[in-house]
Amino acid sequence: MHSSSNKNQTWSNLEKHCKEISKKSLIELFNENPNRGSDFSTSFEDLWVDVSKQIVDSKTIQLLSDLAEESKINQFFVDMMAGSPVNLTEKKPALHTALRAPKDSRILVEGKDVVPKITETLEKMEEFSRHIRNGKLLGSTGAPITSVVALGIGGSNLGSSMAHKALSKFAHPEITIKFCSSIDAVDLDQTLDGLNPETTLFLVTSKSFDTRETLLLMENAKKWLEGSIVATGLSKHFVGITSSRDKAINFGFEESMIFDLPDWVGGRFSLSSAAGLVLMISIGPDEFSHLLSGMNRIDNKTVSESLESNGALLLAVIDIWNRSFLDYPTMAVIPYSSQMSYFPQYLQQLMMESLGKNNRNDEHEFGSSVGSVVWGATGTESQHAFFQFLHQGTDVVPCEMLGFSSSYDPSNQDQQNSLFANLLAQSETLAFGSAIEENLVHEKKLEGNRPSTVILAPKLTPFILGQLISLYEHRTVASGVIWGVNPFDQWGVELGKSIAIDIELEIGDASSSKDATTRNSSTEKLLDRFRSFRNI
């Protein structure tokens, strides 16, 4: 995308086209093309992507395709997957795709093939996971490890916790898996409730190994263990997952209990790295391998398919169309699966941290809005919560609905059918409203013309989840490239972290708040009130 003073012809053509197509309703678009349901859908590996209920026509897709081509998106993906430093501000590669590439691949970073190291880490993860799953990994008292608690925040938590919930049907029945990310003391207390210190292992995930929240959780976990385990045995109950091996060793981690995270993988793209160890422990190395295989399939399709049949690029340009041209500020993601309940939250980080930027790579100003607020919840629950707003609210919210054809248990297929019927009914009603019903009172009339996308998959398995994750990763990256932002950094998050550390130091020192030059009046007053509530 170009600045308002430097728009290219394709962008201008899209703005003009937007004014024309906005006059049409989805009913009209479907009436004009009886084959619209097929013409605006594509099979992308095992995923069926239907954008026919988006406010687009063939001219829209052609213009958006031209926009993507002008951004050299295909070359970007080739460069990214080859190890070029596409993370411009940090001068690093973004090689999450290498983590699930075949073992015989050759991918060079600064002249060195990174695949052997990736393979070595993966094989170490597999051996470690099997030891736990087979009851052979023992704690310091000789009792086998039966509970695993993952400590991490952001990308060190959201991907693995989402996937663990999504694949709960594949989880080892005798291993308890829990996650803790909040430094709210209640969260850790509730996480540890009912666990036995002698049989509990903590996975501490932090790329830098100086993430304040995670280190605080680790220290509190040590205190919990010390009530039952002597200090010399604590190292058998901690695993470090990090790019900073030396820091982990300085904290007392055994070298054999440290798993390497490549410095070039961002947290929100890290599930296929050692950050996914907790998931591998849960579902087993074989199923984790299927997850990686699903990711790799979509990686290959994204870099090879033209836009019309490329699900990732198609969804990316639809996002750009909805945000920058139709000016829809939010997007609701609605999985029709209770197991996918953490998926919207996972996507919030993936998409909003990647695209929440107000600086273009070329330093030009934006000529329109960029990036959407992503939110959502599971299907039928949403219908009885916020769907009223989606149908009749004054703001239009594009929806994305995820469905699965088959139930795990054939005896539950009727309920699966009902889930999908609800998905289709909501998608249809959003698009066409109550047009087919006559003589409705004013309050019951639904205008329709609310855009939605449907992504349909055969069954929720590790292989399919891998495809979905990769689809959203590449869609997000492609949107960033076309908009002209770096989807791999997050400087806004980093600044907030450093300020929090400074304020935390001030909280315990009442005299520091007297220096009005260091803090604004609001922060100073809130610090005073915080102390007064505690009578300090």
How far apart, in whole angstroms, are the C-alpha atoms of residue 243 and residue 260? Answer: 6
Q: 9-70+305-483 and 96-287: same fold?
A: yes
pLDDT in tens, 451-497: 999 999 999 999 999 999 999 999 999 999 999 999 999 888 777 77
Q: What is the pLDDT of residue 423?
A: 97
CA atoms 35, 39, 43, 48: torsion sign: negative
Pairing mode, if any, of strands 41-44 and 47-50?
A: antiparallel
If one counts every other C-beta atom within 10 angstroms of the C-beta of residue 396, the result is 18
pLDDT at 289 over 60: yes
**Cα–Cα distance measured from residue 412 to residue 507, given in angstroms and rounded to the nearest whole number:** 55
Residue 516 has pLDDT above 80, yes or no: no
Six token digits for residue 137:
């990994």
Predicted confidence at residue 438, as pLDDT, reads 56
Q: What is the pLDDT of residue 333?
A: 98
Catalytic positions, please? 353, 384, 497
Cβ contact 18:51 at 8 Å: no
Give the separation between CA 395 and CA 310, rounded to whole angstroms: 30
Q: How confident is the model at residue 360 (pLDDT cuts 50, 70, 90)?
A: confident
How far is Cα 297 from Cα 464, in angstroms, rounded to an integer?
10
Q: What is the mean pLDDT of the chain?
A: 93
Greatest Cα pair distance, the chain, in angstroms, is 78
What is the SS3 assignment for 297-351? HHHHHHHHCCHHHCHHHHHHHHHHHHHHHCCCCEEEEEECCHHHCCHHHHHHHHH
Asked if residue 95 has pLDDT above 60, the reply is: yes
> Computed over its alpha carbons, how large is the radius of gyration of the chain?
25
Where does the pLDDT of residue 535 fall: very low under 50, low under 70, confident under 90, or very high at 90 and above? confident
Whether the CB-CB separation of 395 and 331 falls below 8 Å is answered with: no
Helix (H) or strand (E) holding 521: helix 521-533
The pLDDT of residue 494: 76
pTM of the shown model: 0.94
Q: Quickly list DSSP for 391-436.
A: HHSSS---EEEEEES--SSGGGHHHHHHHHHHHHHHHHHHHHTTTT
- pLDDT of residue 513 exceeding 60: no
What six digits make up the tokens of 356? 């929440």
**CA dihedral for 516, 517, 519, 520, sign (positive or negative):** positive
Mean pLDDT, residues 95-102: 98
Q: How much of the chain exceeds pLDDT 70, in percent?
A: 94
Residue type, 208: S
State residue 159's pLDDT score.
97
* Cα dihedral sign, 386-391-394-397: positive
Residue 511: the pLDDT is: 61
Span 277-301, average pLDDT: 98
Nearest CA to 340 out of 292, 390, 401 is that of: 401
pLDDT digits (tens, 9 = 90+) for 169-182: 999 999 999 999 99
Two tokens, residue 441: 């009172």
Give the pLDDT confidence of 200-230 residue by residue, as tens digits. 999 999 999 988 899 999 999 999 999 888 8
For residues 206 and 154, give the distance between their C-alpha atoms in angstroms, rounded to a whole number. Answer: 10
Using an 8 Å Cβ cutoff, are 460 and 288 in contact? no
Structural domain spans, the chain: 9-70+305-483, 96-287, 491-533
Q: Which residue has the tokens 């590996």?
A: 45
- Specify the pLDDT at position 440: 57
Element (H, E) at 453: strand 452-457
Would you say domain 96-287 falls under CATH 3.40.50.10490?
yes
What pLDDT was estimated at residue 2? 44
DSSP annotation of 358: S
CATH of domain 9-70+305-483: 3.40.50.10490
Higher pLDDT, 443 or 416: 416
185 membership: H or E segment, kind and range: helix 185-192
